[in-house]
Amino acid sequence: MSDALRDVSRETADQLKIYAELLRKWNPRINLVSRTTLDDLKRRHFEDSLQLVKLAPASGHWVDLGSGGGFPGLVIAIAAPEYQITLVESDQRKCLFLREVARTLSLNVDVLNERIEAAQPLQADILSARALASLPDLLAFAERHAYSKATLLFPKGRTADQELTVARESWTFDVDRIPSQTDPASSILKITGARRVGHQPET
Ligand SMILES: C[S@@+](CC[C@H](N)C(=O)[O-])C[C@H]1O[C@@H](n2cnc3c(N)ncnc32)[C@H](O)[C@@H]1O
């Protein structure tokens, strides 16, 4: 078990257990996570999501795009209630599930059933997205929904280098690449100062 899950409070561990039960109950109907990862929820989804918390500023509005079954955004809402959290998900049935978990666990999260491109700008201090889109597309989403000084957290697999190369053709940004604690082939891109090439930074 990685530090991320070992360090959580008793209350968080209990809430994650209830979340896992709801996922198993709903998954056959909605396909929230692939069946192959259902037996390894802790590592593939909970720890993988939790590791983002220590890479983020200590508070602020955290927007998770394309949350699906709630990764990473709902896990963060459970483990780190100090954030104001918004989950954006276009699939109505997945939103029903996200709201059901939030209601059951009394979580303070907004679930937005909209397409990212159509939603009103969300003014995120922290923006995350896992398994949603390539880095250039994610940066365009962040341009709409995050403050220019926001921290962007994008878990990425083997294509990270290639996506960084393509993204640098149109964007400038600072990036830290943090090895994933759950998958040796993956890393988390922590991006700050993102702006389109040729755009002046805001003062
Ligand atoms: C591959 S899943 C990943 C889900 C979750 N982030 C995870 O890592 O398990 C991508 C999710 O993004 C949602 N999605 C894709 N494009 C979207 C868009 N333009 N606006 C809102 N949600 C979108 C899909 O409905 C799906 O639930």
Percent of the chain surpassing pLDDT 90: 86
User: CATH classification of 3-196 is 3.40.50.300, yes or no?
Assistant: no
| Alpha-carbon span 65 to 50, nearest angstrom | 16
Mutate to test the pocket of ligand 1, among 51, 62, 90 (most ligand atoms within 8 A of CB): 90
- Residue 132 C-alpha to ligand 1 middle, in angstroms? 5
Q: What would the pLDDT profile of 128-152 be if each residue is shown by its tens digit?
A: 999 999 999 999 999 999 999 999 9
pLDDT at res. 6: 73
Closest C-alpha among 31, 53, 14 to residue 97: 31
The pLDDT value given to residue 199: 82
pTM of the model: 0.96
Give the start-to-end residue ranges of the domains of the chain: 3-196
Q: How far apart are CA 91 and CA 115, in angstroms?
A: 9
Here the ipTM equals 0.99
116 is in an annotated binding site: yes
**Ligand 1 centre distance from Cα of residue 66 (Å):** 3
Q: What pLDDT is attached to residue 84?
A: 98
Judge whether residue 177 has pLDDT over 70: yes
- Calculate how far, in angstroms, residue 20's C-alpha sits from the geometric centre of ligand 1: 19
- How far apart (Å, rounded) are the C-alpha atoms in residues 16 and 172? 37
Task: Write down the pLDDT at residue 188.
Answer: 98
In this predicted structure, the answer to whether residue 79 has a pLDDT above a threshold of 90 is: yes
- Cis peptide upstream of residue 72 (ω within 30 degrees of 0): yes
The answer for residues whose C-beta is within 8 angstroms of residue 142's C-beta and 6 or more apart is 124, 127, 150, 152, 191, 194
